[in-house]
Structure 1
Amino acid sequence: MRSLDFLSHKPKLAVQNTRHVVMVPPKEFGFNPQTAADNEFQHSSSLTSEKIRERAMSEFQRMVTALRENGVNVMPLDYSPSKMSTPDAVFPNNWFCSLPNGELHLFPMACANRREEVRTDQLTQLLTQHSFHLKNVQDHWLDDAIHESFLESTGVMIFDHQNRELYAGLSQRCDRDLLERFAEQVGYRAITFQTQTQSGTPVYHTNVMMAVGERFAVICDEVIPEFERRYVIKQLAKTKQVISINAEQMAHFCGNILQLENAKGNKLIAMSQSAFDHFSDAQKAQLASHGKLLPFDVSTIESIGGGSVRCMLAEVFAQQQ
């Protein structure tokens, strides 16, 4: 257990968690060979496409129901299939993010079939229907200088809104220049680092190895080189209780969790059943001190899609009118 010095620090900003999330039904869900090139968490299946989608949709619907029962405002973004299939549409947090100042940012993704997921008009219409006021909508893909650069939103950027910092593991899906330009634009400090899995490749998305809540952080620090690891942990420990996980726990999505809050302001921590089962009892007790643990069985989505509960939740911080 890390130092508890964080208890003496007060957050600089009030908002780290939201009770409003966008989720996208897995209508076309399946194994995506384009993303499998650098996503070691994906696994092919002998199940038929129909059976895979049936199971994924069931997992999705159960998760939506449970979140709503716990006071979270879930806004499903329904859509009409495009000419190109979108097997990873269930992971909307990779193409947009909403910031506490009301801005909405759209980001370039590395794989061609993932770019088909971006439905700006439908997203803004959905948020408007729910009385959200969007201060500004910015599409970072429109910058002519970044056509070969990618920044997959909160898949690669872990926001500490209270301290105006964001943590990011560099990879082909997280371009340093684009990241630093974005951080400067929104007034956040970017804390970047390298990662390396046992196979020698970078972790494809930071959010499978790391999560930041209001008063805690979960991180698989063993995949970060030692000279960068010490600095990252030191920064987190200033205001957070740091809970370290190992590579095996990361492989079961213990890093892919998200702290939310409900309509009453009660804290919730969403995670997969796999993550819950692989946290130690001591780690569960630490996490439970920061909110009610909400495990969901998304085993089909995890195994075939290579992403988990946090990837399925796109936070909305804009103000409601």
Structure 2
Amino acid sequence: MQQTTNTILMIRPINFRRNEQTAINNYYQKESDNVLPETENAKAQQEFDAYVEKLRAIGVDVIVVNDTDEFDTPDSIFPNNWISFHEKGTVGLYPMFAENRRLERREDVLEAVEAHGFKINNIVDYTSAEEENVFLEGTGSLLLDRANGIAYCALSPRANEDLFIEFCEDFEYTPVIFTANQTVNGKREAIYHTNVMMCLGETFAVICLDCIDDKKERKNVMKHLQDSGKEIIRITEAQVNNFAGNMLQVKAKDDKRYLIMSQAAYDCLSEAQIKIIEKHCAILSSSLETIEACGGGSARCMMAEVFLPKT
């Protein structure tokens, strides 16, 4: 199994704004004072287009599908939460915490991926769990070490333990379960998505170990990372707040590897951290200021990796 891919699906927003339904437990979303949703959307589109251009310039194959005006889907820019694509031609569909995010799941997105020359053999659909208020938000909740068959998951209102274990059984991953917290108004609160505090590359892992309050859980996560040959690059909770955990390694032209992150994430890294990352791969950053502030997600959330076989 490969850990990185050259093909990424991205959804260009039409009605991007701060989603009040996700703000309940996404503490990275900020209130925007007197900014019209149209202005936010226009800025998000500019950031999106510049980001896609940068990815394509290094040779990443980006499939861009436009969001639809049919529904109110302010978070459609983060497709990795509702869909995942796997090497044997399997697609995973996931149950979403916010009701308006469930409207992001669209048949024509799968059709666009197929039209791009990829083969979908079967779909594993977990979305009926929404009826029981049980959620598992795709590769936001699941961090997949595809090469070593390990799945990491920080439990939260958006990541249910039983459903995570079911996923691991279906897709043949060894589950590594823990709780990751952040300090919000002096209290420890669960981090809503695993991929905010952790990123897995082929030979390294960027992770905020300080978010894992339980020492046993922390040790267990470290052991799995070390045993699978990953160099651990530690980040701080303050850096997590600047989206330094929300990164993704991709394959560019000539098989060159890049770690993709936002400008805010890059700017908050120390020289020492950058040096360690650059031992493993190059870095590409792009400004996602509006998307991060209103959406509470960053570079990684915007990319759904495509590992499907070609037709």
Q: Please confirm whether the aligned pair reaches a TM-score higher than 0.5, indicating the same fold.
A: yes
| Maintained 8 Å contact 2:14/2:66 | no
CA distance in 2 between partners of 1:319 and 1:310 (Å): 22
Supply the AA of the counterpart residue of 1:137.
Answer: I
Equivalent position to 1:284, from 255, 267, 274: 274
Q: 1:180: which partner in 2?
A: 165
1:212-259 alpha-carbon deviations (Å, 9 max, x no partner)? 010000111101021210111111012101001110000000000000
The residue number in structure 2 matching 1:4 is none
- Residue aligning to 2:120: 134
* Native 8 Å contact 1:106 1:140 kept in 2: yes
Distance 2:218 2:252 in 1: 33
How far, CA to CA, are the matches of 2:269 and 2:253 in structure 1?
27
Summarize the Cα distance change of 1:30–1:79 in structure 2 as closer, same or farther, 3 Å threshold.
closer
Corresponding residue SS for 2:280? coil
- Is 1:262 paired with 2:252? yes
Return 5+ residue gaps in structure 2 as ranges: none
Cα shift at 1:135: 2.1
Q: Which residue of 1 aligns with 2:241?
A: 251
Who is 2:216 aligned against? 227
Matches within 5 A, 1:1-321: 13=1, 15-46=2-33, 47-83=35-71, 85-119=72-106, 121-142=107-128, 147-199=132-184, 200-224=188-212, 225-238=214-227, 239-321=229-311
* Residues 141 and 147 in structure 1, CA contact (< 8 A), matched pair in contact too: no
Structure 1: 5+ residue stretches without partners:
1-12
SS at match of 2:254: coil
Instruction: State whether residues 82 and 116 of structure 1, in contact with CA within 8 Å, keep that contact through their aligned partners in structure 2.
Output: no
SS of the equivalent of 1:277 reads: helix
**Cα deviation digits, residues 255-314 of structure 1 (max 9, x gap):** 000000013211011000000011110110111122210000001000111000000000
Query: AA paired with 2:220?
Result: Y
The 8 Å contact of residues 13 and 66 in structure 2, kept in 1 or not, is answered as no
Runs of 4 or more, structure 1, over 4 Å off, are none
Give the distance between the partners of 1:23 and 1:290, measured in 2 at CA. Answer: 25
What's the CA shift string for 1:113-147, capped at 9, x where partnerless? 0001110x212211111110112112111369x63
Distance 1:278 1:143 in 2: 38
Give 1:80 shift: 2.2
**Deviation per residue, 1:182-218 (Å, 9 max, x gap):** 1011110110001221132100000000000100001
| Paired residue type of 2:31 | S
Corresponding letter in the other structure for 1:30: R
Using the alignment, how far apart are the partners of 1:234 and 1:74 within structure 2? 34
Partner Cα separation in structure 2 for residue 80 and residue 31 of structure 1: 17
Between the aligned partners of 2:220 and 2:164, the Cα distance in structure 1 is 19
Number of residue pairs matched by the alignment: 305
In 2, the alpha carbon distance for the partners of 1:159 and 1:135 equals 20
CA RMSD of aligned residues (A): 1.2
Instruction: Classify the secondary structure of the residue corresponding to 1:151.
Output: coil
Give 1:172's aligned amino acid: P
**TM-score normalized by the length of structure 1:** 0.93
Q: For 1:205 and 1:193, locate their aligned partners in 2 and report how far apart those are by CA, in whole Å.
A: 12
Q: Aligned residues: percent identity? A: 37
